Structure 1
Amino acid sequence: MLSSANFDQATVTRILFEGFPAFAIVLFYLVAVAAIAVFAWGVYVQIRKYRRGQAVTGPIDLRARFADMVRVVLSHRTVARRDPAAGRAHRLIFYGFAVLFLGTATVTVDYDITARFLGFHFWNGNFYLGFKLAMNLAGVSLIGGLIYMMARRGWIKPPKLDYKRLDRQPGDPDYDRSGYRREDWAFLWTLILIGITGFVLSALRLVWLQDRAVVWDTRWWSPVAALLAEGMRGAGLDSSAAYVIRTGLWWFHGLLALTFIALIPYTKVKHIFTASGSLMMRDPLAAQRLPRIPANSEKVGYKTITDFTWKHLLNLDACTKCGRCHEACPANAVGAPLSPRDVILSLREFANEALQKNALPDEVKLDVHGKDIGQVFMETVWSCRTCMACVEICPVAVEHVPIIVQLRRKLVEDGEMEPQVQKTLQGIHKNGNSFNESKRKRAAWTKPLPFQIKDARKEPVDLLWFVGDYASFDPRNQRVTQAFATLLHDSNVDFGLLYEGESNAGNDVRRVGEEGLYELLAENNIAMLGASKFKRIVTTDPHSYNTIRNEYPDFGGKYEIEHYTSVVARMLAETRIKPKRSLGYRVTFHDPCHLGRFNKGYDAPRQILSALGCELIEMPRSRDNSFCCGAGGGRIWMSDPVGVEKPSQNRMHEAARIEGLEVFVVCCPKDLTMFEDALKTSGYEGRFVVRELIELIAESLVDADGDGPAACDAREIVAA
Structure 2
Amino acid sequence: MAILAAAAGSPTRETFRGISGVEELLFYYLAAVAVVVLAYGVYARFARYAEGVEDPIPRLDDLGERTVEAARIALSNESQFNRDLYGGLMHAFIMWGFLTLLIATTILAVDLEVWQLLLGRNSFWVGDFYLGYQFVVDAMGLLFVVGIGMALYRRYWVRKDRLWGRHTSREDTLFVWVLFALGVGGFVLEGLRILATGYPPFEVVSFVGWGTALAFEAAGVTPDLADSLHWWAWWSHSLLALAFVAWIPYAKPFHMLSSFANVVVRDEHSGARLPGIPADLEATSAESIDDFTWSELLDQDACTKCGRCSSVCPAKAAGRPLDPRDVILDLKGYREQRADDGGEQPIVADGGSSVIDAETMESCLSCLACVDSCPVEIDHLNSFTRLNRQLVDQGDIDPGVQDVFQNVMQDGNTFGNSQRSRADWADSLEFDLTDAREQEVEYLWYVGDYPSYDDRNRKVARSLARIFDAADVSVGILFEEEKYDGNDVRRLGEEFLFLELAGHHVESFEACEFETLVCTDPHSYNTFENEYTEVDFATWADDPMMPFDYDEQWNRDGEIEVLHWTQAVEDLVSEGRLDLAGDELDYTVTYHDPCHLGRYNDEYEAPRELIRATGCELVEMPRNRANSFCCGGGGGGLWMEFDDDPKPSEERLREAIEDTASGVEKFVVACPMCTTMFEDGRKTGGFEEDVEIVDVAELLVEAIDRDAA
Residue by residue over 1:671-709, the C-alpha shift from the partner in whole angstroms, topping out at 9 and shown as x without a partner, is 1111111101100112211011111111111238xx56x
Partner of 2:599: 597
Pairing 1:678–2:709 present: no
Q: CA deviation at 1:486?
A: 1.6
Q: CA deviation at 1:13?
A: 2.1
Residue by residue over 1:527-579, the C-alpha shift from the partner in whole angstroms, topping out at 9 and shown as x without a partner, is 00000000111111100000000011123222311111112222222221123
Partner of 2:379: 399
Hey, what's the Cα distance between the residues in 2 that align with 1:310 and 1:91?
29
Matched letter for residue 280 of structure 1: V
Partner of 1:665: 668
Residues 366 and 128 of structure 1: is their aligned pair in 2 closer, same or farther, counting only changes over 3 Å?
farther
Pairing 1:68–2:69 present: yes
Aligned match of 1:514 in 484, 494, 501? 494
Q: CA deviation at 1:268?
A: 1.2
CA contact (8 A) 1:445 1:482 kept: yes
Hey, what's the Cα distance between the residues in 2 that align with 1:527 and 1:479?
29
Partner of 2:477: 497
Pairing 1:389–2:369 present: yes
CA contact (8 A) 2:347 2:356 kept: no
Partner of 1:57: 56
Residues 335 and 236 of structure 1: is their aligned pair in 2 closer, same or farther, counting only changes over 3 Å?
closer
Partner of 1:154: 156
Hey, what's the Cα distance between the residues in 2 that align with 1:344 and 1:646?
25
Partner of 1:612: 614
Partner of 1:140: 142
Hey, what's the Cα distance between the residues in 1 that align with 2:522 and 2:683?
24
CA contact (8 A) 2:350 2:396 kept: no
Please give the residue correspondences for 1:266-277 in structure 2 after superposition, counting only pairs within 5 Å.
266-277=250-261
Residue by residue over 1:97-138, the C-alpha shift from the partner in whole angstroms, topping out at 9 and shown as x without a partner, is 100011011111111222111112222221111111111011
Structure 2 stretches of 5 or more lacking a match?
536-552
Q: Secondary structure at the match of 1:551?
A: helix
Aligned match of 2:179 in 191, 207, 210? 191
Q: CA deviation at 1:144?
A: 0.7
Residue by residue over 1:330-353, the C-alpha shift from the partner in whole angstroms, topping out at 9 and shown as x without a partner, is 100100000101111111211222
Q: Secondary structure at the match of 1:627?
A: coil
Pairing 1:106–2:90 present: no
Q: CA deviation at 1:397?
A: 0.3
Residues 43 and 281 of structure 1: is their aligned pair in 2 closer, same or farther, counting only changes over 3 Å?
same
Q: TM-score, normalised by structure 2?
A: 0.93
Q: Secondary structure at the match of 1:664?
A: strand
Residues 653 and 354 of structure 1: is their aligned pair in 2 closer, same or farther, counting only changes over 3 Å?
same
Residues 458 and 267 of structure 1: is their aligned pair in 2 closer, same or farther, counting only changes over 3 Å?
same
Please give the residue correspondences for 1:58-457 in structure 2 after superposition, counting only pairs within 5 Å.
58-59=57-58, 60-120=61-121, 121-163=123-165, 176-179=166-169, 182-210=170-198, 216-296=200-280, 298-355=282-339, 357=340, 361=342, 364-365=344-345, 367=347, 369=349, 375-457=355-437
Hey, what's the Cα distance between the residues in 2 that align with 1:53 and 1:609?
48
Residue by residue over 1:215-255, the C-alpha shift from the partner in whole angstroms, topping out at 9 and shown as x without a partner, is 70211121111122233344443332221100011111111
Structure 1 stretches of 5 or more lacking a match?
164-175, 709-720
Residues 297 and 58 of structure 1: is their aligned pair in 2 closer, same or farther, counting only changes over 3 Å?
farther
Partner of 1:168: none
Query: How many residues are matched?
Result: 681
Q: TM-score, normalised by structure 1?
A: 0.91
CA RMSD across the alignment:
1.8
Hey, what's the Cα distance between the residues in 2 that align with 1:189 and 1:526?
57
Residues 372 and 422 of structure 1: is their aligned pair in 2 closer, same or farther, counting only changes over 3 Å?
closer
Aligned match of 1:695 in 695, 698, 702? 698
Q: Secondary structure at the match of 2:517?
A: strand
Partner of 2:544: none
CA contact (8 A) 1:293 1:300 kept: no
Q: CA deviation at 1:372?
A: 5.8
Hey, what's the Cα distance between the residues in 2 that align with 1:481 and 1:54?
44
Q: CA deviation at 1:187?
A: 1.6
Between 1:580-589 and 1:269-278, the stretch displaced more is 580-589
Q: Secondary structure at the match of 1:533?
A: coil
Matched letter for residue 342 of structure 2: P
Pairing 1:28–2:16 present: no
Q: CA deviation at 1:385?
A: 0.4
Please give the residue correspondences for 1:524-539 in structure 2 after superposition, counting only pairs within 5 Å.
524-539=504-519
Q: CA deviation at 1:6?
A: 4.7
Residues 371 and 49 of structure 1: is their aligned pair in 2 closer, same or farther, counting only changes over 3 Å?
farther
Hey, what's the Cα distance between the residues in 2 that align with 1:458 and 1:135?
74
Q: Secondary structure at the match of 1:633?
A: helix
Between 1:589-598 and 1:21-30, the stretch displaced more is 21-30
Percent identity for Structure 1 against Structure 2? 40
Matched letter for residue 457 of structure 1: R
Q: CA deviation at 1:374?
A: 7.6
Please give the residue correspondences for 1:451-490 in structure 2 after superposition, counting only pairs within 5 Å.
451-490=431-470
Please give the residue correspondences for 1:501-580 in structure 2 after superposition, counting only pairs within 5 Å.
501-555=481-535, 556-558=553-555, 559-579=560-580
Q: Secondary structure at the match of 1:218?
A: helix
Between 1:294-303 and 1:240-249, the stretch displaced more is 294-303
